[in-house]
């Protein structure tokens, strides 16, 4: 078990024409012993490059990576005592499951064969693949192959696990099952884990903490609920949460926010947060918008239902201030699936002051 630290870690790729790409830009993260950290962000934000630098598969341009306080920048991958699980599983096709799982131990330890054998059998039992040890990867389902790939990492008893989108080749149902299984396994083994995904649901449900990257820059590190309730900036606010947070570009006038179609009375705390800005971005999560058939109040607005997307237990409702327009501007509200609301219906949408997020209109930084 180990603590993993990234200090000012930067990776610059130089292309053939001399063009430089800053894939990872001055990233700092302290990952606790036994912690499950999820690295999340959109495609191309630098997640895989960060993971590959920790694994030693990519050099570090500047900064330091250390494991239990010891710098590992120059250590070859095989000497890092870190196991990596890839999206592609990367199993050897000509080897049986047992051989795939034993291979790393035979190469990197002087453990006697019978001990390796029993260690592999025990791990395979724990992973629910005990009866597949004599099969080859081609004779396994995707889920079974993924279990073998995980088993192969676990059997090495490493200081840390690195996982690069390990569930993305599985169908939705299996992915959900494996998510829970992986979490349970990680908690049981207590091994420091860095898990890369572009899927915010995976990040929210699996991580002790999540680290959100955009364009190589770390935007926030926190528990899933911290990132959800108190996003540092508009990027995090829009990335975490499903459906995404609604944003309105608004002017600030005399303690009120003035949007194209509505005005919003700021609370004293919000006034203070806004300061002397003349424009801000107002954010509200779909699940925080209250939708009623009638009513009113200082933060309630008359709107129309544009489209209702049923999702079973919940409906995503697209609401608009523009009735009868061809392509109206809409915002979303999540309402109970039991409610019958139809397109075209007039409703009252309330934006509760305690659920409002405010961001700097230029920088997107959260205003508190
Ligand atoms: P994805 O989710 O699509 O895998 P990612 O967040 O893992 O994306 P990276 O693969 O780390 O992103 O890439 C970060 C940036 O670095 C991208 O702009 C990518 O094009 C660039 N990049 C990655 N590897 C190289 C390389 N070997 N040479 C040049 N540029 C690279």
| 69, 46 contact by CB (below 8 A) | no
CA atoms within 13 A on the CB side of 215: 2
Nearest CA to ligand 1 atom 19: 44
| Pairing of the two strands 62-67 and 160-164 | unpaired
C-alpha 167 to ligand 1 mean position (Å): 19
Nearest CA to ligand 1 atom 31: 13
**Closest atom of ligand 1 relative to the 15 alpha carbon:** 29
CA atoms within 13 A on the CB side of 152: 28
CB distance 57 to ligand 1 below 6 Å: no
Task: Walk along the chain (368 residues) and give the pLDDT tens digit of each residue.
Answer: 589 999 999 999 999 999 999 999 999 999 999 999 999 999 999 999 999 999 999 999 999 999 999 999 999 998 898 998 888 778 899 999 999 999 878 777 778 888 889 989 999 988 888 999 999 999 998 888 988 998 988 888 899 999 999 888 888 888 888 889 889 889 988 999 999 999 999 999 999 999 999 999 999 999 999 999 999 999 999 999 999 999 999 999 999 999 988 899 999 999 999 999 999 999 999 999 999 888 777 789 999 999 999 988 999 999 999 877 777 889 999 999 888 889 999 999 999 999 999 999 999 999 98
**Four-way CATH pick for 246-360: 2.40.50.140, 1.20.1630.10, 3.20.20.70, 2.60.40.740:** 2.40.50.140
Q: Dihedral sign for Cα 221, 226, 228, 234, please.
A: negative
CA dist., res. 118 & res. 130, Å (int): 11
C-alpha 178 to ligand 1 mean position (Å): 26
The H-assigned helical ranges of the chain are 47-55, 97-108, 113-126, 142-155, 172-189, 200-206, 224-229, 234-239, 268-274
Nearest CA to ligand 1 atom 28: 13
Nearest CA to ligand 1 atom 11: 46
CB distance 27 to ligand 1 below 6 Å: no
ipTM reported for the complex, 2 dp: 0.97
Supply the pLDDT for residue 1.
Answer: 58
CA dist., res. 155 & res. 183, Å (int): 17
Domain boundaries, the chain: 4-239, 246-360
CB distance 43 to ligand 1 below 6 Å: yes
Cis peptide before 243 (omega within 30 of 0): yes
Which positions ≥6 away from 34 have C-beta within 8 Å? 1, 190, 191, 192
Backbone angles phi, psi at 54, to 5 degrees: -65, -40
Superfamily of domain 4-239 in the CATH hierarchy: P-loop containing nucleotide triphosphate hydrolases (3.40.50.300)
CA dist., res. 279 & res. 281, Å (int): 7
Q: The tokens 């200090």 sit on which residue?
A: 7
Q: Which of 39, 112, 52 is nearest to 80 (CA)?
A: 52
Angle CA(311)–CA(316)–CA(319) in degrees, nearest 5?
155
């Amino acid at each position: 078990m180990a603590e993993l630290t990234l200090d000012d870690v930067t990776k610059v790729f130089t292309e053939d024409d001399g063009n430089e790409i800053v894939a990872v830009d001055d990233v700092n993260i302290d990952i606790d012993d036994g912690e499950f950290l999820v690295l999340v962000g959109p495609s191309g934000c630098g997640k895989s490059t960060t993971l590959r630098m920790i694994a030693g598969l990519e050099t570090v341009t500047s900064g330091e990576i250390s494991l239990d306080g010891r710098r590992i920048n120059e250590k070859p991958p095989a000497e890092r005592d870190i196991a990596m699980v890839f999206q592609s599983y990367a199993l050897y096709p000509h080897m049986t499951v047992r051989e795939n799982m034993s291979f790393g131990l035979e190469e990197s330890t002087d453990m006697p064969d019978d001990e390796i054998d029993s260690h592999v059998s025990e791990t395979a039992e724990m992973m629910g693949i005990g009866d597949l040890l004599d099969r080859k990867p081609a004779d396994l389902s995707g889920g079974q192959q993924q279990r073998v790939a995980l088993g192969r990492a676990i059997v090495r008893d490493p200081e840390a696990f690195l996982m690069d989108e390990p569930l993305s080749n599985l169908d939705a149902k299996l992915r959900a099952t494996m998510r829970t299984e992986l979490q349970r396994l990680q908690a049981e083994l207590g091994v420091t884990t860095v898990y890369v995904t572009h899927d915010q649901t995976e990040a929210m449900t699996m991580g002790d903490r999540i680290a959100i990257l955009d364009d190589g820059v770390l935007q926030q590190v926190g528990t899933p609920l911290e990132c959800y309730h108190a996003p540092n900036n508009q990027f995090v606010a829009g990335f975490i949460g499903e459906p995404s947070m609604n944003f309105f570009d608004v002017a600030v006038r005399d303690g009120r926010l003035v949007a194209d179609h509505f005005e919003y009375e700021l609370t004293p705390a919000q006034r203070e947060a806004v300061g002397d800005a003349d424009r801000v971005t107002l954010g509200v999560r779909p699940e925080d918008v209250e939708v009623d058939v009638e009513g009113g109040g200082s933060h309630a607005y008359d709107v129309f239902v544009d489209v209702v997307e049923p999702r079973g237990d919940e409906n995503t409702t697209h609401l608009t201030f523009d009735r009868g327009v061809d392509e109206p501007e809409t915002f979303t509200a999540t309402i109970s699936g039991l409610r019958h609301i139809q397109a075209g219906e007039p409703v009252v949408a309330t934006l509760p002051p305690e659920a409002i997020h405010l961001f700097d209109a230029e920088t997107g930084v959260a205003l508190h």
